[in-house]
Amino acid sequence: MINSKQKHRILAVTVGLVILSSVAILQIPNKTELKSLIVQGTDIASVKVAVSSVGGEITHELGIINAVSVKLNNTSLQTLRQHQDILHIYDDSPVELSGKPSDSSQVSMCEPSSDQYLNTCYPTFTGASALHSEGITGDGVTVAVLDTGLWNKSHLIDDSNGYRVLAQYDINKPDKKAESDIHDDSGHGSHVTSIIMSYGQTTSQLYNGMAPEADLVSVRVFDADGQGTYAGVISGIDWLVANKDTYDIRVLNLSLSAPPKSYYYDDPLNQAVMAAWQAGIVVVASAGNTGPDPMTIGVPGNVPYVITVGAMTDNYTPDDSGDDVVASFSAAGPTHAGFVKPDMVAPGGHILALLDKSGHQLAIDHPEFMEPTYREFFTMSGTSQATAVVTGAVALMLQADPSLTPDDVKCRLIDSARTASTRKGKLAYSILQQGSGMVDAYNAVYSTAIGCANRGMDISKDLDNIEHYGGPVNQDEVGNYYLMDPDGGQYTLWDGSYSQSTGYIWADGYIWADGYIWADGYIWADGYIWANGYIWANSYIWADGYIWADSYIWTTNLSEGASINSWVPQE
């Protein structure tokens, strides 16, 4: 049995929030320079009073985490830190979307076609097309996409039932709500939405999108360059949770990520995401494009409760699964709290989806990735795209069984995923690279599994700072990662190296030794709970010696901005 005095080796990294791009280091502000911050307390009313008392300007109310975003100078900041009603102060500086293609990788159709709408392949590859033929198309399920906005394109905004965009919300506009159109200047949000729910069909009646008859709520928090802030993203999630019942929002797609700088529970964006999950919204988040090294899972994908998605690619041979690989850019686990992530992988290499060749910045900057014959299709790679595939699968599951809770959905996705294994039955990739395996929408819909996700954790206690949790992954003295079972044994998982193995199969139903369920959210040391008063810094020590204390101050020298996932070369 492991007691509180034993030290566990865990890794750490620095962080900001960018949809998979790097963050600039900022200088500590001078006394008069205004700084954008997020200020959190026990309740939003007392926080507003405290901020006003030091002359701060409130720019967003973030009720979902009992916080406000503010502008104030360094003198006021120092005064505010002493206020008894203030619990945390986080930086909220913007960052830019960065990264361009590093090669001229080919743009390729999934297969030759003379159709107006190409066969995008991922619905067939994941079993979604088979569900469509059975009438399971996502009909009646509302999906929220928090991104760069929406292209006013018929197959994105319409389906067989007519106009299906229930609401659009722009956190940067004075009226915020838009009944008709919030234009997508970037194209990232439209590409992601197309993967989830495009109603376009080939002449052989194959849909382009995963859930072609789902309804949509679009929230814009990023601009044409993919820039945003923590406050903007949290504000968007706050609005979605507040309007969940109005639009019957069941799924939230978060194709964004950032390197973490604290444990999952102490990050304000993660707190908002956890609140959405607690409210009954299935949150699907990107693992990040920062792989293939271990310990690269980003925020909010490092939240143990949510469904975190990595990327695989078919090597431009969709009919041959034997040469499929986990994408080299796909972030790998474990998280800094020892959880297995990603939860699964999905198609994320050279993904075709709709984009406006003349109106979207991505298409203008990278015309070489427009499909040469069918000029409304654009190819992108990333965990953003893989996340959208899984979001569509979730919509199909919820149409088939609306009673499913977020934990039920996660359990059935994990239960039905196809693990990449060699023909001798060994894992082709560590579970810290592929999670439970490749998403299988068809088998997820028909799975009857229950109670196999997020066991041993209480999200309400987590949000209330009563209990926080560690996962079952640890690291030995030579750097190998291993899985601890409830009886104290261990299974070696990974030495941290990356190999684009081929010749394996995505097998069904890979079972861990002794029936151990790795996705449980196992609490360390035979049920020991990391209670509120326990000092994590004295117990969790990673191999590089970096320690996060409970009193870590976000505002010291790093910026916390937000943006869409940065570009990665086609793979």
Closest CA to 382 of 312, 451, 433: 312
Residue found under tokens 């088979």:
130
Residue written as token pair 């326990």: 534
Under 8 Å between Cβ of 369 and 545: no
At 31 the pLDDT is 57
Question: Measured on CA atoms in the order 516, 520, 522, 526, is the torsion positive or negative?
Answer: negative
Say if residues 96 and 564 touch (Cβ distance below 8 Å). Answer: no
Residue ranges in the chain whose pLDDT is less than 70: 1-32, 93-117, 174-181, 315-323, 422-425, 484-571
Position 493 scores a pLDDT of 54
Token pair belonging to 495: 């030495």
Residue ranges and CATH numbers for the domains of the chain are: 15-98+117-549+558-566 (3.40.50.200)
Find out whether 345 and 377 touch, Cβ atoms under 8 Å: no
| Model pLDDT, residue 566 | 57
Q: Looking at the annotation, which residues are catalytic?
A: 147, 188, 384
pLDDT of residue 303: 95
Give the C-alpha distances (Å, rounded to integers) separating 373 from 86, 97, 113, 243, 268.
57, 29, 10, 41, 45
Q: What is residue 17's predicted lDDT score, i.e. its pLDDT?
A: 36
Cα 545 to the chain's mean position, in Å?
27
Q: Report the predicted TM-score, pTM, of the whole model to 2 decimal places.
A: 0.83
| 215-220 vs 142-147, strand pairing mode | parallel
In what helix (H) or strand (E) does residue 386 lie, and over which residues does it extend? helix 383-400
Q: How far apart are CA 86 and CA 193, in angstroms?
A: 38
What is the C-alpha separation between 330 and 133, in angstroms, rounded?
32
Residue 97 is predicted with a pLDDT of 33
d(CA 483, CA 343): 15
**pLDDT score, position 12:** 30
Decide: 19 and 563 in contact? Cβ < 8 Å: yes
Residue 130 DSSP symbol: H
First-last CA distance in the chain:
44
Scan for tokens 């949509």, then name that residue. Answer: 216
